[in-house]
């Protein structure tokens, strides 16, 4: 680690698609070992409703978002 790096950074070596090794700088707080969140599998009905809402209004917020999430049995984040 270089003494010129800030305390909150760390350097790691990675191999790119061509096989070359490169050094990159990342925040120390970045947890590279945590498992990725599983991707949500929406039902056909959920997708249809979400797409219809998106066509009507690209940003569903507030009470509408809460109600749509409840109706589709999804979290507000998923909506």
Predicted confidence (pLDDT) per residue in 50-79, tens digit: 999 999 988 888 999 999 999 999 999 998
**Inside any domain, residue 34:** no
**Inside any domain, residue 24:** yes
Query: 74 and 44, same structural domain?
Result: yes
The interaxial angle of helices 62-72 and 44-56, nearest 10 deg, is: 160
Query: 43 and 71, same structural domain?
Result: yes
Cα separation, 50 vs 30, whole angstroms? 32
- Residue 7 sits in which domain range? 1-29
Q: Residue 52 corresponds to which tokens in the numbers above?
A: 């219809």
Global confidence as pTM: 0.54
**Inside any domain, residue 62:** yes
Query: What would the mean pLDDT of 19-31 be, rounded to a whole number?
Result: 88
């Amino acid at each position: 680690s270089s003494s010129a790096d800030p305390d909150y950074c760390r350097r790691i070596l990675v191999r790119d698609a061509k096989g070359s090794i490169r050094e990159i700088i990342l925040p120390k707080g970045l947890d590279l070992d945590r498992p990725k969140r599983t991707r949500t599998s929406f039902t056909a009905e959920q997708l249809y409703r979400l797409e219809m809402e998106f066509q009507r209004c690209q940003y569903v917020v507030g009470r509408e978002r809460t109600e749509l999430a409840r109706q589709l049995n999804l979290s507000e984040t998923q909506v």
